[in-house]
Amino acid sequence: MGDLIVALEGTPQGEALALVLALMAAFLHAVFAALQKGRHDPLLARGAIDFSYMLMAAPFALFVVPWPEPHMWPIFIGVFIIHCLYKWAVLASFRRGAYTVVYPVMRGTGPLFAVIGAGLVFGESFSPVQWMGVAVLLAGLYGLAAYNMVHVTVDRDTLVSALVFAVITGLFVAAYTTFDAYGIRATADPFTFLAWFFFIDGVLFPIIAARFYLRLEDKPPLAPLAARGVFGGLVAFASFGSIMLATRLDQVGEAAVLRETSTVFAALIGWLFLKEAVGPRRLGLMGLIAAGAVIVEMGG
């Protein structure tokens, strides 16, 4: 499988597959974020998910994929640190703000800096049409966030701090998108990077979540939390794996922008499952997000 991905790099077929993978990652990332904002405390949900995907990845990392080359270990350390900081910022934002308010800000900050980072690290460049697409997408994202700030009534007292952490999250999104893309390109087999990423990345937050759980006076039942963890682990594999393979097959910046259509899926999830209202203005803003992604792809 790894040989097939390598063979498709830089080909028209690889570009088409990268488009499909990036859009799939967008949908799955919205699902993944909703799982952290659902019925359980975000830290408990994150700990259960991380523990699940660590256990799932362990046999693949240890016995299936080729072992990482020596130069990969410092990269994995950097990946681990960036993702831990990213998860801390996500949890801080989700604990303070409504899902449909903070999620567009998280995702809106990421693509702009990811495009800049891809230019600096990989020498990628966007055409004027693609930059126009980025501007349209960002207008939709931040317009959606501004609209939500005015109209959403829950968690108003912690809204400012929630948005601050959402912006910080976006910066870490850009950092991990660029750094992870560097990592998956630095190893001969991309599935080596993915298996070891999930194995290493799942170590810390289950410990933090377990300590938090033990301190709770009213402890939630473990069975539903474990089920959420298993489902979230499978979604994480598909979501993160898709976007990382997309960054290996095609431009990092394009994949990062296309993934931000996740906000459209997030709003639909918030409406259907979290009972957060969606009106015509928000639908119009989501249309801008989708239009921006289309312009980026068509202008490439």
What is the distance between the alpha carbons of residues 236 and 54, in angstroms, rounded to a whole number?
11
How large is the C-alpha radius of gyration of the chain?
A: 19
Question: Of 20-24, 47-51, 103-107, 250-254, which one has max mean pLDDT?
Answer: 47-51
Contact 197, 80 (CB under 8 A): no
User: Would you give the DSSP letter of residue 71?
Assistant: T
Answer whether residue 225 shows pLDDT above 80. Answer: yes
With vertex at residue 36, the alpha carbon angle to CA 17 and CA 197, rounded to the nearest 5 degrees, is 50
Q: Mind listing the pLDDT tens digit for each residue in 22-66?
A: 888 888 877 877 776 666 788 898 999 999 999 999 999 999 999
pLDDT band at 16 (very low <50, low <70, confident <90, very high): confident
- Residue 76 confidence class, pLDDT cut points 50, 70, 90: very high
88-107: average pLDDT: 80
Question: What's CA 45's distance to the chain center, in Å?
Answer: 16
Q: Given this model, what pLDDT does residue 79 score?
A: 95
Which two structure tokens, joined as six digits, stand for 87? 């998860």
Say if residue 154's pLDDT is above 70: no
Counting residues of the chain whose pLDDT is more than 90, the rounded percentage is 32
Q: Which of 55-69, 115-129, 220-234 has the lowest mean pLDDT?
A: 115-129
If we measure between CA atoms, which residue out of 30, 39, 210 comes closest to residue 103?
30
Task: Report the C-alpha gap between 292 and 138 in whole angstroms.
Answer: 8
CB of 274 closer than 8 Å to CB of 99: yes
Q: What is the mean pLDDT of residues 87-99?
A: 84
pTM score:
0.81
d(Cα 37, Cα 162) in Å, to the nearest integer?
13
Task: Note the Cα 271 to chain centre separation in Å.
Answer: 20
- Higher pLDDT residue, 116 or 233? 233
Question: Which letter does DSSP use for residue 155 in this model?
Answer: T
Q: How far apart are CA 219 and CA 237, in angstroms?
A: 28
Residue 259 has what pLDDT?
76
Mean pLDDT (the chain) is: 84
Calculate the CA dihedral of residues 36, 39, 41, 46 and round it to 10 degrees: -30
Q: How far apart are CA 120 and CA 200, in angstroms?
A: 27
Segment 141-170 shows an average pLDDT of: 78
The answer to whether the CB of 299 falls within 8 A of the CB of 127 is: yes
Contact 30, 273 (CB under 8 A): no
Judge whether 179 and 86 are in contact, CB under 8 Å.
no
DSSP output for 28-61: HHHHHHHHHTSSS-HHHHHHHHHHHHHHHHHHII
- Tell me, what's the pLDDT at 229? 92
Residues 6+ apart with CB under 8 A from 266: 30, 33, 34, 99, 100, 103, 104, 107
- pLDDT confidence of 2, banded at 50, 70, 90? low
Distance of CA 123 to the CA centre of its chain: 23
Answer whether 138's CB lies under 8 Å from 111's CB: yes
Residue 274's pLDDT band, with cuts at 50, 70 and 90, is low
Q: Is 123 helix (H, G, I), strand (E, B) or coil?
A: coil
For 63, the token pair is 């016995």
| Residue 1, pLDDT score | 63
Distance of alpha carbon 201 from alpha carbon 49, whole angstroms? 11
Highest mean pLDDT pick, 15-24, 35-44, 120-129, 188-197? 188-197
